Amino acid sequence: MNKTTFTFLFLAFSLLAFSQDTDDTPVFRVSLSDLRMNAYPKDSTANALVLYEFGNSHVDPRDYDLRTEKKHKIKIFNKEGFDNANVTLYLYQSNGNAYESVKDIVGTTYNLENGKVTITKLDKKNIYREEYNENITMVKFTLPNVKEGSVITYGYSLRSPYMRKYHGWEFQDEIPKVYSEYNTSIPANWEYSIKLIGGKKLSINETKTKEACLTGGNGLSANCFEARYAMRDIPAFIDEDFMTSRLNYLARIEYELKTFNSFNGTKQDYTRTWEDVDKEIRTEKDIGKQLKKSVDADELLSQDIINESDPLKKAKAIYKYVQNDYTWNGDYKIFSDVSVKDLIKNKSGNVSSMNILLNSLLNESGIDAKPVLLSTRENGFATKIYPVITDFNYLIVQATINNKSYLLDATDPYLNFGGLPFRCLNMYGRLLDFENGSQWIDITPEKPSNVFYKADLSIDAEQNVSGYINAKYSGYHALSTKKRYFSNKESYIEKLENNAPFLEISNHEALSKEKDSPTFSEKYQVKYNLDTTGENIYLNPILTKFFSSNPFKLQERTYPIDFGYKDTFIYMFSLKFNDDYSIVEMPKDFISVLPNSTGTLRFSTKQVGNSIHLMMKFNFKEAVYAPEYYPYLKKFMAKIIDTQNNSLILLKLNT
């Protein structure tokens, strides 16, 4: 509902008038300096720039509807910024007669051509309505005559009968903003939880009380809580690798209705306590009903599993049974279409059905198991301040055995016992305990994921290099490698060869035979011929690339770097040579360390007789790094890439 938020009303036509004034305070009127601007000094990559935006939301005293007026002024720098002249509004309509509406849509495009200002207004016949679905209507328009260098202004007024959803405000978007302001007026009848998201500070945060702003029957009235929020110099939000949902980090204000007090004295609570939610889930027709149902473990499980006396071995066997005998259908549904009975019948079902079956079988077998609700990485963080049950989109299981807890998800046949899919690594989840009350638990892997790569090679008199490579992966590196290998072995080996086209690979052997093993090991033979320049032979000993390029490319990153887990990479190389060769030069040893020792890159080489030994090791000791670490991580990663590509050994052919 109202997910794209470009909605503006021009307060008076005079505000549209072109102005030659210059002012350090952002204003809505268009100035010559706006038109002459050809780049944004604080972000030279920006294709467009929000020069000014303003919003005002208040309750209409006549019908108690929410009225919102907004206006927007944008500078277009180049053709890539033209999309900002396309505006789409989403208007919500419930199944009844209540609906949102928009009016007073106006827009103007300003251009500076041959020293003269041209003004082109939006024609109302170019405003279109389109039915998106039974509940959403789209209103679309495009600002006319947009060119490189244009300044566009547009606005409208929105009416909404849904006071439960007081309009939020997005200070940050995909293009930078010079100034963004939001004014609100909320009568005391409605009490909201107000949440500032994104970690950016407000430049203006002013509040006051206006007395008797809203009147009811019998001479009753309510005061209004009025607020003014603003931010300046807001950087563009640009998605990059190693992040969770952008919804976690976009600078914005959100409102959640807690309580409504009517003038007749009645009170309705909307925000519940977790105790209320626990009771609701326990009696809920899908999850609650399925959790209360028992399953016939004796009928489903083999006699070997039933007779197993060791609780950990039994839990692992039950987990493997659900993992291998049932298939996840890809649905994340946790509050609808949940049926363990249908899962058992069809051998396929959604997340909740599979993991509730796992939960029930563990409990029926005497193992303490409880469901855990979570929000996946792409879905954003679940709200902790107050219960918002719709924030959750996934369900897993926590099993406690011999005072140790294991988080389990049976949807992925490649997972080892105690592992979770990467999509689940979103900080925390809500453990449902209907006897003692639900609680938040951390969802962060305890152990780091590792990559170990060892090359043992030798060079003969004809400059042929040959030998063996051993590799071992653990944790999430093992999970991704297993999926590639076991799903298509030929394709896996082909990709190995493509990643190192100078290598001839043969006799590949996977030493790990089980797809749900916590590690994956492999061994294969390699051979290649060196390029020589006269008597000199240049050899790059780094035969594999852990990172093909630096994933960190932004000038500035305002949100955390979230790897999801800690990891370590180790590369070892040895080369044996005979008296036909001598070493001229080897790379220099070095150590590079991230601030607070949160990561280390070590590189060393040494000669032992007729052998060269090299080691490169680097790690990330944190699963999540604060934005302040970004420039250091960017430099750290650049050093890794450079080391991979340019660590040359120079040999001389003795003649």
Report the distance separating Cα 178 and Cα 50, nearest Å.
Answer: 6
Average pLDDT (254-267) is 91
Same domain, 460 and 565: yes
552-561 pLDDT tens trace: 999 888 899 9
pLDDT at 19 over 60: no
79-132 pLDDT tens trace: 999 999 999 999 999 877 789 999 999 999 999 999 999 999 999 999 999 999
Among 269, 289, 307, give the residue marking a domain's end. 269
Crossing angle between the packed helical segments 311-325 and 351-364, to the nearest 10 degrees = 150
Average pLDDT (596-609) is 96
Residue 16 confidence (pLDDT): 35
CATH number assigned to the domain comprising residue 393: 3.10.620.30
101 burial level (CB within 10 Å; 0-12, 13-18, 19+): middle
206-224 pLDDT tens trace: 999 999 999 887 788 999 9
Average pLDDT (252-277) is 89
Among 411, 443, 475, give the residue marking a domain's end. 443
Number of domains in the chain: 3
Q: What percent of the chain has pLDDT over 90?
A: 78
Among 379, 411, 443, give the residue marking a domain's end. 443
Task: Please give the residue range of the domain that contains residue 72.
Answer: 13-269
Same domain, 68 and 165: yes
Report the distance separating Cα 184 and Cα 204, nearest Å.
Answer: 13
Among 550, 528, 562, which residue's Cα sits nearest to residue 645?
550
363-386 pLDDT tens trace: 999 999 999 999 999 999 999 988
Residue 531 confidence (pLDDT): 67
CATH number assigned to the domain comprising residue 592: 2.60.120.1130
Q: Is residue 252 part of a domain?
A: yes
- What's 563-619 look like in SS3? CCCCEEEEEEEEEECCCCEEEEECCCCEEEECHHHCEEEEEEEEEECCEEEEEEEEE
Going from the C-alpha of 561 to that of each of 40, 82, 92, 625, 627, the distances in angstroms are: 26, 30, 35, 5, 7
Determine the 3-state secondary structure of 557 from DSSP: coil
478-505 pLDDT tens trace: 999 999 999 999 999 999 988 888 889 9
Reported confidence tier of residue 153, pLDDT bands at 50, 70, 90:
very high
Among 161, 198, 167, which residue's Cα sits nearest to residue 185?
167
Report the distance separating Cα 441 and Cα 622, nearest Å.
Answer: 18
Q: Long-range contacts for 263-268 (Cβ within 8 Å, ≥24 apart)? A: 263/189, 263/216, 263/217, 263/218, 263/220, 263/222, 264/217
Stated pTM of the model: 0.86
Same domain, 259 and 279: no
Q: Are 157 and 68 in contact (CB under 8 A)?
A: yes
Among 285, 184, 323, 235, which residue's Cα sits nearest to residue 558?
235
Same domain, 189 and 146: yes
613-648 pLDDT tens trace: 999 999 999 999 999 999 999 999 999 999 999 999
Q: Tokens at residue 304, please?
A: 């070997």
Residue 2 confidence (pLDDT): 34
Q: Are 634 and 561 in contact (CB under 8 A)?
A: no
Residue 279 confidence (pLDDT): 87
